[in-house]
């Protein structure tokens, strides 16, 4: 049921569509954004329960920009869409900052493109930034960087971005707030026989068949994009709830365990999904050899790999590549995402973190591979 999935979720990505954010294109809905901000703050503080980490993915920049520019119809020209996004993003960020600050919450604007998440190094940088913000109790407000992308504006949608962010931060759940109560077997606005779907498995092909193209003229996504987003989010173990964004206290009630909207359940556990991805990674870009002490820390204590325990580096890998970790006998003991490129890793072998800045000219992570990005090999 929705109850246990959201009640147990500690890290949640919330995505709100442009028709909700802009009240069907009439401009930013201050009251609605204020209401969601109140609920986000309640989740982060843990009012009446446990504190949660929350990321907001918000559409609405283009729609708000259209209003500010006096445009009634959504333009077709890419450069005009990008101009509208640039104008609207100012208002969108300002509104969230104001409403979250009223609740005593810090906020951060993060603009991403799909390309940022396709590039290994940028992916890792975005992940580090977002996890740091969450640790600081700040609510990141994410939108697609429409000003610099083209094909994403034409074909993309923030449902997909919401799922990619859920993958990025390894969220427990993705909540997609929309102008529909949830998923139906057909478009309820056209078919009176449409049945409401309370729960289904994310990635079930039957869902895509029934989704059709229900959606408003303001945003780009219909219900099909939400179903595909749930399938993508499930790849990293996150279940998805599709719910009506104007349902009173929708976020608070979901984490309290109430069954609202449609739950699309991920079939793989979060940790298992990540481990499977790294274990199945065929293109290992390199390897590091570690001493007996470091090998024991990894195997027996589940610790991160620190450069001081490394004795050798093989290959020519970049930050964010999957590398093997080998013991002194050459046996693979783990795989993980490298925080440093091979050239840097060679300089850091046998060195304590206090020397990193002197050796590299900067200091980033203290670990070569963080334990969250490490999967032990089966002996």
Q: What interhelical angle do 78-102 and 30-45 show, nearest 10?
A: 50
Question: What are the residues whose beta carbons fall under 8 Å from the beta carbon of 65, sequence distance 6 or more?
Answer: 83, 84, 85, 86, 87, 88, 89, 91
- How far, in Å, CA of 256 to CA of 252, rounded? 6
| 298 pLDDT higher than 80 | yes
pLDDT at 69 (0 to 100) = 95
| Residue 189: CB atoms within 10 Å | 10
With a pLDDT cut of 70, the percent of the chain lying above it is 92
How confident is the model over 12-20, as a mean pLDDT? 93
Does the CA dihedral 218-224-230-233 come out positive or negative? Answer: negative
Determine contact, residues 117/235, Cβ cutoff 8 Å.
no
- 271/238 Cα distance (integer angstroms): 10
Across the range 368-379, mean pLDDT stands at 85
- pLDDT, tens digit, for every residue of 227-263? 999 998 998 899 999 999 999 999 999 999 999 999 9
Ranked by mean pLDDT, the top range of 112-126, 139-153, 239-253 is: 239-253
Question: Does residue 142 contact residue 112 with C-beta atoms inside 8 Å?
Answer: yes
Q: Assign 233 to helix, strand or coil.
A: helix
- Strand 139-144 and strand 107-112: the pairing is parallel
Predicted confidence (pLDDT) at residue 221 exceeds the cutoff of 60: no
Q: Is the pLDDT of residue 350 over 60?
A: yes
Q: Which CB contacts under 8 angstroms, 24+ apart, belong to 219-224? A: 219/17, 219/18, 219/19, 219/59, 219/63, 219/157, 219/158, 220/155, 220/156, 220/157, 221/17, 221/157, 221/158, 221/159, 223/180, 223/183, 223/187
pLDDT surpassing 60 at residue 42? yes
Name the burial class of residue 36, with classes exposed (0-12), middle (13-18) and buried (19+) by CB atoms within 10 angstroms of its CB. Answer: buried
Give 36's contacts (C-beta < 8 A, 6+ positions apart).
14, 16, 56, 177, 245, 251
Tell me which residue of 97, 94, 21 sits closest to 63, measured CA to CA.
Answer: 21
* pLDDT tens digits, one per residue of 318-342: 998 889 999 999 999 999 989 999 9
pLDDT at 283 over 80: no
Comparing CA positions, the residue from 208, 209, 229, 231 lying closest to residue 220 is 229
CB 340 within 8 A of CB 308: no
Token look-up 């620190």 returns: 306
Q: Which residue has the tokens 């918000």?
A: 58
The phi and psi torsions of 309 (rounded to 5 degrees) equal -90, 0
Q: What is the mean pLDDT of residues 10-31?
A: 91
Residues 6+ apart with CB under 8 A from 52: 9, 10, 11, 12, 43, 44, 46, 255
Query: How much is the average pLDDT of 349-375?
Result: 92
Separation CA 24–CA 63 (nearest Å): 9
Domains of the chain: 2-270 (3.40.1160.10), 281-376 (2.30.130.10)
**CA 79, chain centre distance (Å):** 27
The pLDDT of residue 165 is 93
């Amino acid at each position: 049921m929705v109850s246990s999935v959201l009640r147990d979720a500690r890290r949640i990505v919330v995505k709100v569509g442009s028709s909700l954010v802009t009240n069907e294109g009439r401009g930013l809905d201050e009251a609605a954004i204020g209401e969601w901000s109140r609920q986000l703050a309640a989740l982060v503080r843990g009012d009446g329960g446990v504190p949660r980490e929350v990321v907001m993915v918000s559409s609405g920049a283009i729609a708000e920009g259209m209003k500010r520019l006096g445009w009634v119809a959504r333009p077709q020209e890419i450069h005009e869409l990008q101009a509208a996004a640039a104008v609207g993003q100012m208002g969108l960020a300002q509104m969230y900052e104001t409403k979250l600050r009223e609740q005593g919450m810090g906020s951060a604007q993060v603009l991403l493109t799909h390309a940022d998440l396709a590039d290994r190094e940028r992916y890792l940088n975005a992940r580090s930034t977002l996890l740091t913000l969450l640790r600081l109790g700040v609510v990141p407000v994410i939108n697609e960087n429409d000003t610099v992308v083209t094909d994403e504006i034409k074909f993309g949608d923030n449902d997909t971005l919401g799922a990619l962010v859920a993958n990025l931060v390894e969220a427990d759940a993705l909540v997609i707030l929309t102008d529909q109560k949830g998923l139906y077997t057909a478009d309820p606005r056209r078919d009176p026989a449409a049945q409401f779907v309370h729960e289904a498995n994310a990635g079930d092909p039957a869902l895509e068949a029934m989704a059709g193209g229900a959606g408003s003229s303001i945003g780009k996504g219909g219900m099909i994009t939400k179903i595909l987003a749930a399938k993508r989010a499930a790849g990293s173990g996150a279940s998805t709830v599709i719910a009506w964004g104007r349902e009173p206290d929708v976020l608070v009630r979901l984490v309290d365990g109430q069954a609202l909207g449609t739950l699309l359940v991920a079939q793989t556990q979060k940790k298992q999904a990540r481990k499977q991805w790294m274990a199945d990674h065929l293109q290992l870009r390199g390897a590091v050899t570690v001493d007996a002490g470091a090998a024991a820390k990894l195997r027996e204590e589940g610790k991160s790999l620190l450069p001081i325990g490394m004795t050798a580096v093989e290959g020519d890998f970049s930050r964010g590549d999957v590398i093997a970790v080998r013991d002194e006998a050459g046996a693979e003991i783990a795989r993980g995402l490298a925080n440093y490129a091979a050239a840097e890793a060679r300089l850091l072998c046998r060195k304590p973190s206090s020397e990193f800045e002197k050796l590299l000219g900067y200091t980033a992570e203290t670990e070569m591979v963080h334990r969250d990005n490490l999967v032990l090999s089966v002996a």
